[in-house]
Amino acid sequence: MAVPSRHVAIVGGGIAGLATAFALQERAAETGLPLPCTLIEADSRWGGKILTHRIGEFLIEAGPDSFLSQKPWGLALCAKLGLTDRLINTNEDQKKTFVFSRGRLRELPEGLIVIVPTELGPFLRSGLLSGAGIARMAMDFVLPAKRKPGDESLAAFFRRRLGREAFERVIEPLMAGIYAGDAEQISLRATFPRFLEMEQEYGSLIRGMLAGRKRATPTQREGEPGRSMFVTLKDGLDEMVRALVTRVKEAGVTLMSERRVEALRVRSGRPGVWTYDLLLEHGPVVTADAVVLATPAYASADLVRPLSPGAAGLLESIPYASTATVSLAYSASELGSSVCGFGFVVPRVERRDLLAATWTSLKWPHRAPTSHVLVRCYVGGIGREEILKTDDETLVRRVREDLAGMAGVTAQPAYVEVNRWHRSMPQYTLGHLERLEDIQASLGRYKGLWLTGAAYRGIGIPDCIREATETATQVVRYLSASPL
Ligand SMILES: Cc1cc2nc3c(=O)[nH]c(=O)nc-3n(C[C@H](O)[C@H](O)[C@H](O)COP(=O)(O)OP(=O)(O)OC[C@H]3O[C@@H](n4cnc5c(N)ncnc54)[C@H](O)[C@@H]3O)c2cc1C
């Protein structure tokens, strides 16, 4: 007897939507449940924030350029897609990162785990922190843990544990590179809950990090065996997108690009069982038994508003930062000796436009011909978005002024490209986790409707993949259990 099938619609063809479609097909194959699925994307291309292209011999990442190997879900997906051999590590020969601090680039000393300094000696020698700053950092060993560990901003937590200087000069710039956010607003519980647990468990952040390092096997510490902390794919992250598109297509998923979902309607033939109609900008109505919204929170807000104005309001209240990346190619012979290592970050207290600069072709092999160096600059973010209002010419001029002032790069670039990312980085501000619970409760009656993607439980690519995979499991569980 034929098993009755249910239709799933996924809205948004970024990594979250694609990974949901892929995992759904995997689960469908495992359970024998036929699962027709339609993936709908507003844009003409797949991948969302992941956007790789080639300009001659340069390989340019307009959005993300790598992902963390310590979070296993990115590597695991690559393995399933047959891309393990395509993964590349950062260039060991250049394994140094710098911080622009008090007038010059200073190397980030050894002993930094994730973003927390664990060895005080190298910091003393680096000149990055004053003696008083290092002494204050060491007080982490003796300061008592907070009695009532509620939500706290990243800034408040790290200032409390490690002191103002370590926070402003080391932690803030590293964190800003991940979230493009304001550490005074970002929730510790929603972003780095492990640090909170460490404080409670070990009474000290540094002790907790060191204990974690001892417990971990050497391979765990550095990511998968032979993997650097960040990895990428030989032809850029778009390889992952292309492989996902091919695989979901082969599995029978219907892919609809250039189709914006304009509205979501719901009807119910029986109590508790919903049918969803997705109204597309140019195209037919797509009817589904389950819907996954893998769209930015503000886009999902518009779609769920008729179902739950409360959930829409909460989704809309998740702030987004706008950013831009500026890629510049220079003739290698014209760059000075300060262009070495992976690049540098700039603390907010320095009050510059530049958030960070990566010497892309030194960090990753094959990103530029040997005659040239490819540089990627990162601007914008909460409280630093004013530069994004300027035209490309002014934006590039300001970036080049910072590159000249901080790293002595005064040469004329052979190629320049600006990629603007409007409302691109969701901010997990204080109370974020409670907000997620409230959203879930507000949409609770609409069985068969899920939200996934960077806005919720992890902004990086591995976390988006993890959450998408979990969502797919829940969809299959729901459809297997609910009566036709
Ligand atoms: C400049 C930049 C650098 C980054 N660097 C890194 C990095 O190095 N490593 C890392 O791990 N992460 C990085 N990130 C974060 C990471 O790239 C993103 O969080 C992640 O790719 C988001 O995936 P997503 O699928 O949730 O959302 P998106 O990629 O935003 O996908 C959502 C999709 O939904 C579509 N959509 C929206 N509304 C509708 C609608 N109504 N109908 C149909 N489709 C719709 C959009 O067109 C889009 O394609 C970076 C982000 C940016 C912006």
Q: Which of 381, 404, 425 is the last residue of a domain?
A: 425
The distance of Cα 441 from the centroid of its chain, to the nearest Å, equals: 26
Residue 119 sits in the same domain as residue 216: yes
Q: Whose CA is nearest to atom 6 of ligand 1?
A: 64
Residue 197 sits in the same domain as residue 176: yes
pLDDT tens-digit readout, 334-347: 987 778 999 999 99
Answer whether 66 contacts ligand 1 (Cβ < 6 A): yes
Answer whether 109 contacts ligand 1 (Cβ < 6 A): no
What is the full per-residue pLDDT of the chain (484 aa) written as tens digits? 445 568 999 999 999 999 999 999 999 999 888 899 999 999 999 999 999 999 999 999 999 999 999 999 999 999 999 999 999 999 988 889 999 999 999 998 877 767 777 777 777 778 888 999 999 999 999 999 988 767 899 999 999 999 999 999 999 998 888 899 999 999 999 999 989 999 999 999 989 888 877 665 444 444 556 899 999 999 999 999 999 999 999 999 999 999 999 999 999 878 878 999 999 998 789 999 999 999 999 999 999 999 999 999 999 999 999 999 999 999 999 987 778 999 999 999 999 999 999 999 999 988 999 999 999 999 999 999 999 999 999 999 999 999 999 999 999 999 999 999 999 999 999 999 999 999 999 999 999 999 999 999 999 999 999 999 999 999 999 998 876 6
Answer whether 236 contacts ligand 1 (Cβ < 6 A): no
b (16+ CB within 10 A) / e for 237-248: bbbbbbbbbebb
Q: What is the structure's pLDDT at 220?
A: 47
Answer whether 16 contacts ligand 1 (Cβ < 6 A): yes
Answer whether 315 contacts ligand 1 (Cβ < 6 A): no
Q: What is the structure's pLDDT at 381?
A: 96
Q: Which of 407, 425, 443 is the last residue of a domain?
A: 425
Cα 460 to averaged position of ligand 1 atoms, centre (Å): 9
Residue 210 sits in the same domain as residue 295: no
Domain membership of residue 298 as a residue range: 8-48+243-318+428-481
Domain of residue 194, CATH code: 1.10.3110.10
Residue 417 sits in the same domain as residue 456: no
pLDDT tens-digit readout, 309-321: 999 999 999 999 9
- pTM of the full structure: 0.95
Domain of residue 398, CATH code: 3.90.660.20
**Residue among 22, 41, 46, 49 to mutate when testing ligand 1 (max atoms within 8 A of CB):** 49
Assess if residue 155 is contained within a domain.
yes
- Positive or negative: CA dihedral 361, 367, 371, 377: negative
Residue 326 sits in the same domain as residue 417: yes
Assess if residue 377 is contained within a domain.
yes
What secondary structure does DSSP assign to 136-191, as a single string?
HHHGGGTSPPPSS----BHHHHHHHHH-HHHIIIIIHHHHHHHH-S-TTTBBHHHH
Q: From CA 74, how far away is CA 463, in angstroms rounded?
A: 8
Nearest to 298 by CA among 453, 177, 458, 464: 453
410 contacts 404 by C-beta, under 8 angstroms: yes
Cα 371 to averaged position of ligand 1 atoms, centre (Å): 33
Place of tokens 């924030």: 49
Q: For the chain, what is the domain count? A: 3
Residue 412 sits in the same domain as residue 460: no
Answer whether 453 contacts ligand 1 (Cβ < 6 A): yes
Residue 34 sits in the same domain as residue 162: no
Q: Whose CA is nearest to atom 21 of ligand 1?
A: 49
Q: What is the structure's pLDDT at 482?
A: 74
Assess if residue 361 is contained within a domain.
yes
Q: Whose CA is nearest to atom 1 of ligand 1?
A: 63
Answer whether 64 contacts ligand 1 (Cβ < 6 A): yes
The angle that helices 73-80 and 461-481 make with each other, rounded to 10 degrees, is 70
Residue 333 sits in the same domain as residue 387: yes
Answer whether 9 contacts ligand 1 (Cβ < 6 A): no
Residue 47 gets which letter from DSSP?
Answer: B
Cα 459 to averaged position of ligand 1 atoms, centre (Å): 9
Domain of residue 12, CATH code: 3.50.50.60
Nearest to 409 by CA among 317, 484, 343, 364: 343
